[in-house]
Copies of this chain bind each other. A is one copy, B any other.
Amino acid sequence: MAKKNIQQSEEKCALQEILGVIGGKWSMSIIYALFTGKKRFSELERLIPNISTRMLVKELKNMEANGIVIREVFATVPPTVEYTLTVKGEKLEPIINELQKWGVEYVI
């Protein structure tokens, strides 16, 4: 396999791994909603139309495990849970904004 092809298939495995972290159908919308700062679970549910509670729980767990968001629990009654982007998550902002510009020009 020519050198270029080997390099490309290594890059592609990398891309597949990356998409495993943020490629979920809802991850980018959740990250996008967190660009404007810390959010509670209910706020995320309101900001992301059509996402089910079960899916939001699953995606947030996956994103927390992958270091994209931080989950903080406050001992209020009932307890309050807030989500914040990590630095790693915030670095996606320019990419998602570029994706949106592409979409506005070519999709919507």
Interface residues in chain A, defined as those with a beta carbon under 8 Å from any beta carbon in chain B: 4, 8-9, 11-19, 21, 23, 25, 28-29, 32-33, 36, 47-50, 66-67, 88, 91-92, 94-96, 98-100, 102-108
Contact = CB atoms under 8 A, between A and B. Distances in A.
A106 B11 CA distance: 14
A15 B29 contact: yes
Contacts of A23: 23, 25, 28
- The number of times this chain is found in the oligomer is 2
B102 A91 contact: yes
Nearest to A92: B102
Contact of A16 (B29, B88, B104): B29
A100 B47 contact: no
A95 B88 CA distance: 17
A18 B95 contact: no
